[in-house]
A = this chain, B = another copy of it.
Amino acid sequence: MAESWLPTLITPDPQSGYDLAVKLSRVAVKMTQPDAAMRDKLRADYAEDADALIAASQVVAVHFQTVAAANGYWRSKG
């Protein structure tokens, strides 16, 4: 993970902020399990597991909270 993948938390709007939150939640997984084929296999499994899907959604929620705060909640775009 030497390349630059997170230059800023600032995004143009809430939706791209949400996409960034999804990305942030996946990078931690990538750092622990660097094998892409294994990650694909695991994702296929948990995509049919309600508990895992909800847990993954929770991680996105926490990152979205961070990104939203960083962007002042995009209030001037409301």
Give residues in A with beta carbon < 8 Å to B.
4-10, 13-15, 18, 22, 24-29, 31-33, 38, 42-43, 45-66, 68-70, 73-75, 77-78
What are 27 contact pairs spanning A and B, CB under 8 A?
Answer: A6-B13, A6-B14, A7-B13, A7-B14, A8-B78, A9-B74, A9-B78, A10-B78, A18-B24, A18-B27, A22-B28, A22-B31, A24-B64, A28-B61, A29-B53, A33-B47, A42-B50, A54-B55, A55-B55, A55-B58, A59-B61, A61-B63, A63-B64, A65-B66, A68-B70, A69-B69, A69-B73
Residues on B with C-beta less than 8 A from A48 are 33, 38, 42
